[in-house]
């Protein structure tokens, strides 16, 4: 039957294959390229539908033959064989047409190697993940529109890069000193218990997700967490993360809190968001604009927002170091009594919650020296809440 089929195919050589137009796609204006590509893809879609139908018919024929009552089996088999042969011819034709179309699409740049390698290469139904992590439903549409798989994030980053390059080139005196001086004057001396880590934005999402699985393990060993952290940093190869890519700072005081500060733009010293979490929390919601599931940390974050705004508006050049130092003062969150009522836990009447002093003053923190770190309950603070 196979040989018959092949013979039939050889005989009916009329390939209704797509036009052999080898027009130079590059020479045409983009709108025409788009129109052509759209039309070709439409044809490809129809061919694929035809192929599916053909496959269905083949299966149907086989089932019918298989189910045939014994007395008429021979007739059925003969009929089936004929149907199969016809279908096979048609299928071969469809596949040839499809191949030709595919070649044309490749040449015009619609289908590229990355898409093909993915198996489900037409991108017609499956979402595509762009290099920057954005998920795109129809990659080919973007490609046709000249964006070549770029998402909004990619385009923004390219624009920002161009801007930063030009700024560096034409206005060198405006260059920020960057984060390099940060660890020196900073917390390592003043706050030995706090650990500071830096990340690129995507690296942080991976870490947040890994924290979720770490915390769900009943047998978690907390020292493992730190080890894993160090291991992953070593593996990824950037010892201190290229300074111009740092977008997230994690401040961890073990067993007390984990604070996430986001920098915008990446590589700058301008914080734009901060959030506090329990060290036991993990998951995709763990980021500088996320919210802890615990009331205490929710309220600390709320207060931290105000502190951040204050630092950024009043002392923009030192905002980050002031913020980090201020965050470090929360080490005493669960031990320091309120400076006004001298209690640790207090029932906040309006919130109906028992909370420790979640507010620490952020005014006048630029003064050097032993400024006693005060702490206040929400209802106890003297300044604007």
Partner 1 sequence: MPPVKWLMHWHPNPGATLNSQILAEASGCAESLGGSKDGRWKTSIIFYRAMARDGASAGAGGAPPQQPPDVPRELLGVALHERPGLYFSILRSHRLVLQADAAFPQVMEKLQSYKARVTLNFEGFQYQLGDFCLRIGKCVPNNSETLRGIMMEVEYYPLSSIEKSRAVMEDFFDIWQETLAKKSLPGHFIHVESNFSEYGLSDHYSFQHTAVQYATCLQQLMAAVTVRG
Among 43, 205, 353, 373, binds partner 1 (CB under 8 A): 353
Contact between 335 and partner 1 by CB under 8 A: the answer reads yes
Q: How far is the CB of 269 from partner 1 (least distance, A)?
A: 30
Binding segment toward partner 1, per CB under 8 A, in 88-96, 231-239, 342-350, 360-368: 342-350
Q: How far is the CB of 215 from partner 1 (least distance, A)?
A: 6
d(CA 115, CA 108): 14
The answer to whether residues 140 and 124 touch, using CB atoms and an 8 Å cutoff, is yes
Structure token pair of residue 3: 């040989």
d(CA 263, CA 241): 14
Binding segment toward partner 1, per CB under 8 A, in 22-30, 32-40, 125-133, 340-348: 340-348
Contact between 37 and partner 1 by CB under 8 A: the answer reads no
Binding segment toward partner 1, per CB under 8 A, in 56-64, 150-158, 194-202, 348-356: 348-356
Contact between 211 and partner 1 by CB under 8 A: the answer reads no
**Sign of the four-CA dihedral 5, 7, 10, 14:** negative
User: Of 284, 325, 327, which Cα lies nearest the Cα of 305?
Assistant: 327
Contact between 296 and partner 1 by CB under 8 A: the answer reads yes
User: Nearer Cβ to partner 1, position 183 or 222?
Assistant: 222
The dihedral over CA atoms of 151, 152, 153, 155, expressed in degrees to the nearest 10, equals 90
Among 34, 85, 308, 355, binds partner 1 (CB under 8 A): 355
Contact between 334 and partner 1 by CB under 8 A: the answer reads yes
Query: What is the secondary structure of 226-279 as a DSSP string?
Result: HHHHHHHHHHH--SS--GGG--EEEEEETTTEEEEEEESSTTSS-EEEEEEE-T
Cα→Cα distances 346→174, 329, 337, 342, 359, Å: 48, 20, 10, 10, 13
Binding segment toward partner 1, per CB under 8 A, in 84-92, 155-163, 319-327, 346-354: 346-354
Q: How far is the CB of 190 from partner 1 (least distance, A)?
A: 20
End-to-end CA distance of the chain: 85
User: Nearer Cβ to partner 1, position 235 or 342?
Assistant: 342
The answer to whether residues 63 and 117 touch, using CB atoms and an 8 Å cutoff, is no
Contact between 295 and partner 1 by CB under 8 A: the answer reads yes
Tell which positions 234-293 bind partner 1, by CB under 8 A. 255-256, 278-280, 292-293
Contact between 218 and partner 1 by CB under 8 A: the answer reads yes
Interface positions with partner 1 (CB under 8 A): 215, 218, 220, 222, 255-256, 278-280, 292-297, 334-335, 343-345, 347, 351-356
């Amino acid at each position: 039957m196979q040989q018959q089929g092949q013979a039939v195919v050889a005989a009916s050589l009329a390939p209704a294959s797509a036009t052999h137009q080898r027009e130079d796609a590059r020479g045409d204006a983009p709108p025409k390229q788009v129109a052509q590509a759209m039309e070709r893809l439409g044809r490809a879609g129809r061919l694929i539908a035809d192929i599916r139908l053909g496959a269905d018919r083949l299966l149907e024929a086989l089932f019918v033959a298989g189910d045939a009552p014994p007395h008429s089996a021979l007739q059925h088999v003969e009929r089936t064989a004929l149907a199969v042969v016809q279908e096979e011819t048609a299928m071969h034709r469809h596949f040839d047409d499809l191949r030709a179309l595919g070649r044309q699409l490749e040449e015009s740049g619609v289908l590229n190697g990355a898409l093909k390698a993915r198996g489900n290469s037409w991108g017609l139904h499956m979402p595509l993940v762009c290099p920057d992590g954005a998920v795109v439903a129809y990659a080919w549409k973007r490609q046709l529109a000249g964006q070549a798989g770029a998402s909004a994030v990619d385009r923004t980053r390219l624009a920002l890069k161009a801007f930063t390059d030009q700024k560096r080139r034409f206005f060198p005196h405006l260059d920020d000193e960057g984060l390099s001086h940060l660890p020196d004057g900073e917390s390592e001396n003043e706050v030995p218990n706090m650990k500071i880590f830096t990340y690129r934005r995507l690296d942080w999402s991976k870490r947040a997700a890994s924290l979720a699985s770490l915390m769900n393990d009943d047998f978690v060993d907390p020292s493992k967490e730190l080890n894993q952290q160090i291991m992953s940093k070593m593996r990824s190869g950037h010892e201190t993360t290229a300074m111009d890519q740092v977008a997230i700072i994690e401040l961890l005081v073990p067993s007390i809190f984990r604070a996430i500060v986001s920098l915008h733009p990446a590589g700058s010293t301008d914080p734009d968001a901060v959030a506090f979490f329990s060290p036991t929390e993990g998951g995709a919601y763990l980021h500088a604009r996320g919210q802890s599931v615990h009331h205490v940390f929710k309220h600390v974050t709320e207060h931290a927002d105000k502190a951040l705004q204050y630092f950024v508006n009043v002392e923009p050049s030192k905002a980050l170091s002031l913020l980090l130092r201020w965050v470090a003062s929360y080490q005493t969150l669960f031990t320091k009594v309120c400076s006004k009522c001298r209690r640790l836990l207090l029932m906040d009447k309006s919130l109906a919650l028992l909370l420790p002093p979640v507010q620490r003053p952020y005014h006048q923190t630029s003064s050097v020296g032993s400024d006693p770190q005060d702490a206040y309950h929400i209802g106890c603070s003297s300044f604007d809440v």
